[in-house]
Amino acid sequence: MLSDEDDLSLKKGKKLFLYYLQLGRCVYSGESIKLDKLFNDNYYNIDHIYPRSKVKDDSIYDNLVLVTREKNEKKEDKKYFFEVGFQTSNNKKILEVFKGEKN
């Protein structure tokens, strides 16, 4: 079991990795994430795209995204990703959204 300090370091590492992977943007809103507030949970959260109750996947590549706390609290925002068959396979879809590419 991880100590609280190790758990916090792991969480910060995931947030930073997702920040760069997502080009510094919230997946749900597309707005820029402020790096100086990244580690403050009052501003940004790591979210499971597919709920843990449905899929036991904590993969940083396939099921985790960095989002604003405000958007994360509005779960209806996720509906869009399920309707269009959102899959993060190595986050290709995320990058396509931000680059404006279409399938």
- pLDDT tens-place string over residues 33-67: 999 999 999 999 999 887 777 778 777 777 889 99
pTM of the model: 0.70
Q: How confident is the model at residue 14 (pLDDT cuts 50, 70, 90)?
A: very high
72 or 16, which is more confident: 16
Please check whether residue 15 is in contact with residue 60, taking contact to mean a CB–CB distance below 8 angstroms.
no
Distances in whole angstroms, Cα of residue 86 to Cα of each of 49, 50, 80, 91, 92: 9, 10, 8, 10, 10
Q: Which two tokens stand for residue 6?
A: 């190790």
